[in-house]
Amino acid sequence: MGLPLLEDLPDPAGKRVLLRADFNVPLKDGHIEDDLRIRAALPTIQWLQEHGAEVTACSHLGRPKGKPDPEYTMDPVRERLGELAPGVELMENLRFDPGEEANDPGFVDRVVEGQDLYVNDAFGAAHRAHASIVGPPARLPSAAGRLLAREVEVLGGLLDKPRKPFVTVLGGAKVSDKLGVIGALLQRVDRLVIGGGMCFTFLAAQGHSVGGSLLESDRIDDCRRFLEDAGDKIVLPSDIVSMGPSDEVRTMGADVPGGWRGLDIGPGSAAAFSDEVTGAGTVLWNGPMGMFEDERFAAGTRALAHAMADAPGFTVIGGGDSAAAVRRFGVADQVDWVSTGGGASLEFLEHGDLPGLQALRKASNAPRD
HSE toward the beta carbon, residue 330, CA cutoff 13 A = 0
Do 111 and 136 form a contact (C-beta atoms < 8 A)? yes
| Smallest separation (angstroms) from ligand ADP to the CB of 340 | 12
Q: What distances in angstroms separate CA 258 from CA 79, 129, 174, 205, 263, one per listed residue?
A: 52, 44, 20, 17, 14
**Residues between 338 and 367 that touch ligand ADP (CB under 6 A):** 342
Contact between 300 and Mg ion by CB under 5 A: the answer reads no
Q: Does 124 bind ligand ADP (CB under 6 A)?
A: no
Q: Is 288 in the site for ligand ADP (CB under 6 A)?
A: yes
Q: How far apart are CA 198 and CA 353, in angstroms?
A: 25
The answer to whether 134 touches 356, Cβ cutoff 8 Å, is yes
Interface with ligand ADP (CB under 6 A), residue from 293, 352, 362, 364: 293
Q: Identify whether 259 is a catalytic site residue.
A: no
Smallest separation, CB 197 to ligand ADP (Å): 3
- The answer to whether the CB of 300 falls within 8 A of the CB of 293 is no
Pick 12 or 124: Cβ nearer ligand ADP: 124
Q: Which of 174, 233, 296, 328 is catalytic?
A: 174
287 binds ligand ADP (CB under 6 A): yes
User: Letter for the amino acid at 23?
Assistant: F
Task: Select the binding partner of residue 155 from ligand ADP, Mg ion, none (C-beta < 5 to 8 A, by kind).
Answer: none
* Angle ∠(164,199,222) on CA atoms, nearest 5: 85
Which of ligand ADP, Mg ion, none does residue 173 bind to, with CB < 5 to 8 Å depending on kind? Answer: ligand ADP
CA-based Rg of the chain, rounded to a whole angstrom? 22
Closer to ligand ADP by CB, 97 or 321: give it.
Answer: 321
Minimum CB distance to Mg ion, residue 324 (Å): 8
Element (H, E) at 315: strand 314-317
For binding to Mg ion (CB under 5 A), which residues are involved? 320-321
For binding to ligand ADP (CB under 6 A), which residues are involved? 171-174, 177, 196-197, 214, 262-263, 286-288, 290-291, 293, 320-322, 342
